[in-house]
Structure 1
Amino acid sequence: MSEIMDRIIEENSRENRRTLIGGMFSRVRQYDVTALEVRGRQIRVTPDHWVTDFASCNYLGLDLDPEMTATVAESIDRWGVHPSWCRLVASPELYVELEERLAKLVGTEAALILPTVTLISIGVIPALVGKNGVLLLDKSGHETMYEAAKIARDNGATLASFVQGDLDRLATLLDQHRANPRKVILVDGVYSMTGDHADLHELLRLAAEYHAVVYVDDAHGFGVVGENPSTATPFGQRGNGIVRHLGLDYDNVLYVGGCSKAYSSLAAFVACSKKMQTFIKTFATPYDLSGPSPTASLATLWSGLDINDSRGDVLRERLWKLTDHAARGIRELGYRIDNRTGFPILSVEIGDPDMLATAANHLFDAGILVTTCPYPMVARGQDVLRLTLTAANTDAEVDHLIAAFSGLRELLGGNITADALPA
Structure 2
Amino acid sequence: MSTQQPTVNWLKNRVRQAREDQQQLFDAGLNGLKLAQREGKEIELSSGERLTEFLSCSYLGLECDPRLIRGAVDTVETFGVQFAAARTRALLPPMRELDEQLSRIFQGYAVTFNSVGSAHLGCLPLLGSGELPSYPLRRGPGWIVDRAAHASMQVLQGILWQFGPVQRCDCRDMEQVEQACSAAVAAGNTPIILTDSIGSMRGVYPINRLLQLAERFEGYLYADDAHGTSIHGVAGGGYALATGDERLRERLILLSSLSKAFGATGGAITVRTADDAEMIRRHASTYTFGGPLSMGGVGAAVASGKIHLSPQLGELQAALWRNVALIDGLLGPVLGNHEVASPIRFVRVGAERDAISLALHLRRQAIAVTTALFPVVAKGEAILRLAISANHSQAQLACLANAVKGGFDELGIRQRGSGDGR
TM-score (norm 1): 0.88
1:139 to 123, 147, 172: 147
For residues 360 and 142 of structure 2, the distance between their equivalents in structure 1, rounded to whole angstroms, comes to: 44
For residues 14 and 239 of structure 1, the distance between their equivalents in structure 2, rounded to whole angstroms, comes to: 36
For residues 173 and 406 of structure 1, the distance between their equivalents in structure 2, rounded to whole angstroms, comes to: 42
8 Å Cα contact 1:13-1:19 kept in structure 2: no
**Aligned position for 1:207:** 214
For residues 364 and 377 of structure 2, the distance between their equivalents in structure 1, rounded to whole angstroms, comes to: 24
| Residues 392 and 340 of structure 1, relative CA distance in 2, 3 Å threshold | closer
Say whether residues 1:239 and 2:236 are aligned partners.
Answer: yes
| Residues 280 and 14 of structure 1, relative CA distance in 2, 3 Å threshold | closer
1:46-78 deviation digits (Å, cap 9, x = unpaired): 443210011001111011212222222321232
- The size of the alignment, in residue pairs, is 395
For residues 101 and 163 of structure 1, the distance between their equivalents in structure 2, rounded to whole angstroms, comes to: 34
> 1:416 Cα shift?
1.8
8 Å Cα contact 1:20-1:375 kept in structure 2: no
> 1:17 Cα shift?
2.3
**Aligned position for 1:388:** 387
> 1:342 Cα shift?
3.9
For residues 166 and 56 of structure 2, the distance between their equivalents in structure 1, rounded to whole angstroms, comes to: 33
For residues 299 and 159 of structure 1, the distance between their equivalents in structure 2, rounded to whole angstroms, comes to: 38
8 Å Cα contact 1:126-1:149 kept in structure 2: no
8 Å Cα contact 2:343-2:388 kept in structure 1: yes
3-state SS in 2 of match to 1:70: helix
Say whether residues 1:379 and 2:378 are aligned partners.
Answer: yes
1:335-381 deviation digits (Å, cap 9, x = unpaired): 34234424210011111101011111111121111111012211232
For residues 297 and 346 of structure 1, the distance between their equivalents in structure 2, rounded to whole angstroms, comes to: 28
Give the CA RMSD over aligned residues: 2.1
For residues 354 and 217 of structure 1, the distance between their equivalents in structure 2, rounded to whole angstroms, comes to: 32
8 Å Cα contact 1:360-1:372 kept in structure 2: yes
Q: Which moved more, 1:112-121 or 1:90-99?
A: 90-99
**Aligned position for 1:300:** 300
8 Å Cα contact 1:115-1:293 kept in structure 2: yes
> 1:414 Cα shift?
4.8
Moved over 6 A (4+): none
8 Å Cα contact 1:324-1:342 kept in structure 2: no
Instruction: For structure 2, list consecutive stretches of 5 or more residues without a partner in the other structure.
Output: 1-10, 131-139
**Aligned position for 1:319:** 320
| Residues 26 and 270 of structure 1, relative CA distance in 2, 3 Å threshold | closer
2:191 to 174, 183, 198: 183
**Aligned position for 1:17:** 17
Correspondence list, 1:8-407, <5 A: 12=12, 16-108=16-108, 110-130=109-129, 132-153=140-161, 155-178=162-185, 180-194=188-202, 196-226=203-233, 237-249=234-246, 250-272=249-271, 273-308=273-308, 309-331=310-332, 335-407=334-406
8 Å Cα contact 1:111-1:269 kept in structure 2: yes
Which letter does structure 2 place at the counterpart of 1:198?
Y
For residues 157 and 346 of structure 1, the distance between their equivalents in structure 2, rounded to whole angstroms, comes to: 36
Which letter does structure 2 place at the counterpart of 1:360?
A
TM-score (norm 2): 0.88
Q: Which moved more, 1:158-167 or 1:65-74?
A: 65-74
What is the percent sequence identity of the aligned residues? 22
> 1:306 Cα shift?
1.9
> 1:188 Cα shift?
0.8
